[in-house]
Each structure stands twice: as C-alpha cells, then as structure tokens.
Amino acid sequence: MADKKIGKVIHFYDKIGVAVVALTAGLSVGDTIKVKKDKDEFIQEVGSMQIEHKKVKKVKKGDEVAIKLDQPAKKRAEIFKI
C-alpha cells in the first residue's frame, strides 16, 4: 500500500519538538506517520496532538494540529500516513 499524503508542516517549535500541521485528511493518536522533506525523513507513531492547546485523539481534514515529534521537522515537510 502506498503512503498517503495527509498534510504538511507549517511551523516547527524547536524547543518543544512540536510541528503544526495543516491536514488534508484525518489523523488519530496511534496512527503511524512519515515526515519527509527532501532527503530527510523519519517514521513515528502519533503519541499526542493538540488543537488550540487542547488534547485531541482525532482530527479531520482541514484542521491545523500540533503534533509532538521525536525528531525536528522542516517547514513544508510533507506528512504521510503509513
């Protein structure tokens, strides 16, 4: 099965390791994502997400969500659900 592009990073907070992602598809805590920009990429499970500082378990297409990442992500990095 091919990876499905579900959004892109619009901002990354270095100090707290959080990416703000504009979504083009839904996402849930526990899903596995790939973060890719040029030659840099990594895979991780979504552990926590927030919308306007409130924890959420599920988000939908069109949401802008903050996702805690294990590694830094560059602005405009693409997010895939795998």
Our count of domains for the chain comes to 1
33, pLDDT greater than 70: yes
Please give the mean pLDDT across all residues of the chain.
Answer: 96
Of the candidates 51, 46, 1, the one whose C-alpha atom is nearest the C-alpha of residue 27 is 46
The CATH number of the domain holding residue 24 is 2.40.30.10
Tokens of 11: 């901002």
With cut-offs at 50, 70 and 90, classify the pLDDT of residue 2.
confident
19, 67 Cβ separation under 8 angstroms: yes
What does the alpha-carbon distance between residue 16 and residue 18 come to, in Å, rounded to a whole number?
Answer: 6
Give ∠ CA 19-36-2 in degrees, rounded to 5. Answer: 120
The whole domain housing 18 covers: 4-81
Say what percent of the chain tops pLDDT 90: 98
